[in-house]
Amino acid sequence: GQNIDQPTEMTATEGAIVQINCTYQTSGFNGLFWYQQHAGEAPTFLSYNVLDGLEEKGRFSSFLSRSKGYSYLLLKELQMKDSASYLCAVTDSNYQLIWGAGTKLIIKP
């Protein structure tokens, strides 16, 4: 079966750096997405990786290793508004999106 694993919950301090990991086992691979979802709201797109390496977008970066079936989202200079769930999703060989359950990130002052 297809599976995406993310930690259920993480806690970090305002101003610090946090890394949210995602491992996947899917039927083929055609890209990996990270989305942010605040409580009670819809997911919003953060990043997309299809090739190995690091993609940087301001305070957020996303890394992919296809050989290891692994990605991480790196959040720098954490702000209270970064408290949210972070969803990892992989596009499989049929271009279907497989979603992880998300990592709830709690930011403390």
Partner 1 sequence: EADIYQTPRYLVIGTGKKITLECSQTMGHDKMYWYQQDPGMELHLIHYSYGVNSTEKGDLSSESTVSRIRTEHFPLTLESARPSHTSQYLCASSEGEGSSPLHFGNGTRLTVT
Q: Is residue 41 at the binding interface for partner 1, with CB under 8 A as the rule?
A: yes
Among 24, 43, 82, 86, binds partner 1 (CB under 8 A): 43
* 8 or 67: CB nearest partner 1: 8
Segment contacting partner 1 (CB under 8 A): 14-22, 43-51, 57-65, 74-82? Answer: 43-51
Q: Which of 67, 68, 75 shows the shortest CA–CA distance to 13? A: 75
Give the separation between CA 109 and CA 105, rounded to whole angstroms: 13
Q: Is residue 33 at the binding interface for partner 1, with CB under 8 A as the rule?
A: yes
The amino acid occupying position 11 is T
Those residues with Cβ within 8 angstroms of residue 75's Cβ, 6 or more apart along the chain or in another chain = 12, 17, 18, 19, 20, 59, 60, 82, 105
Least distance to partner 1 from the beta carbon of 62, Å? 13
Pair 1, 7: CB distance under 8 Å: no
Point out which residues bind partner 1 (CB under 8 A): 4, 8, 30-31, 33, 35, 41-45, 48, 50, 85, 87, 91, 95-97, 99-102, 104
